[in-house]
Amino acid sequence: MKYYIFFVFTICLLGCEKANNKDEIPGLENPGLIAYFPLDSSYTDASGNNNLLQAFGAPEFVEGYRNEATTAVLLNGEEDYLVGSIGKLDTFSISMWLESYRYFVGEWPHRRSTIFDYSNKQVYGDIDGISGATQINCGIESEHVTGVDIGNGSEWFHLYMAVCNEVKIYLNGSLKKSESFQDEMIYLGDIIYFGRASNDDEIDLTYFYGKIDEIRIFNRILDQAEIDELSLKQ
C-alpha cells in the first residue's frame, strides 16, 4: 500500500512538473488563445484549436529568431504566402516575430509588403518604406490608421498588435502607438493571410519578403507582462 501511494504521488508530481513546463511556453496556455503556429517544420496549430494554416508557393523552413534550425518560415516575396481560418473575432490581437528584407526605400514594388491581412483587410499590418522611414502600419477597413518606425527591419523584431476599440502597436515589447477609433469593427470573414494581401489586385505590391516565426492570435488584449514575455523583454 505504501509503495502504491508513493507511486501515485510520484506520477502526480511528474504531471504537475510537465504542466508547469508547458505553462512556461509563452502564450500556449493563455486564456483567449485562438491559434498558435510555432512554424517548427510544420504548419500545425499548437493551441489545440486545430485551426488550419496552408502554404502557397514554396515557403522554406529556416532558422528562427532563437537561432534554431527549421523553426521559422522564409517567404520569397514573389509567390509565397500562408492562409489560415481563425473564426470571426470581435477583439483581435496578434504576436509574431519578423525579419524583413524589405526595409528601405527601393524600386517599386520592393518597398512595400503585407505582413498579415485578416477578414478581407478589415485589419491588416504592412511594411512601408515609400516615404523614407520604414514603418509598420496598421489599417482598419482599408484605411491607414497608424504607423511605427521600425528602423532596421532586417534584424529579428517582435511585433504585437491589438485591435478592439483602439489600435495598439508594440515593437519588442514597447508600446509605440495607440490610436482610438469610433466605428465598431464588423468582420466580414474568418480568413487571415500572412505574407500577402487578400485583395488580388494588390498581390504584386504586397508580398512579404523575409522570415516569420511564432505566430499567436488572441481574442483578447494582452497585458504588459504577457507582451514582455512574448517579446523576451523580461
Q: What percent of the chain has pLDDT over 90?
A: 39
Measured over the CA atoms of residue 201, residue 94, residue 138 and residue 145, the dihedral's sign is positive
> Is residue 196 within 8 Å of 117, Cβ to Cβ?
yes
Highest mean pLDDT among 135-144, 200-209, 217-226: 217-226
Residues 158 and 137 in one domain: yes
Q: What is the mean pLDDT of residues 213-225?
A: 95
Task: Enter the pTM of the model.
Answer: 0.82
Residues 162 and 216 in one domain: yes
Q: Is pLDDT above 70 for 228? A: yes
Measured over the CA atoms of residue 26, residue 49, residue 220 and residue 38, the dihedral's sign is positive
**Number of domains within the chain:** 2
What is the pLDDT at residue 103?
52
Reported as type and span, the H/E element at residue 204 is helix 203-206
Q: Name, in order, each residue with C-beta under 8 angstroms of 189's C-beta and a sequence gap of 6 or more.
A: 88, 119, 120
Distance CA 2, CA 221 (A): 48
Residues 18 and 72 in one domain: no
Residues 191 and 210 in one domain: yes
- Give the type of residue at 196: R
Number of residues assigned to the chain: 234
**Structural domain that includes position 14:** 1-25
- pLDDT, one tens digit per residue, over 173-202 is 999 888 876 666 666 689 999 998 887 665
Question: Which CATH number is 202's domain given?
Answer: 2.60.120.200
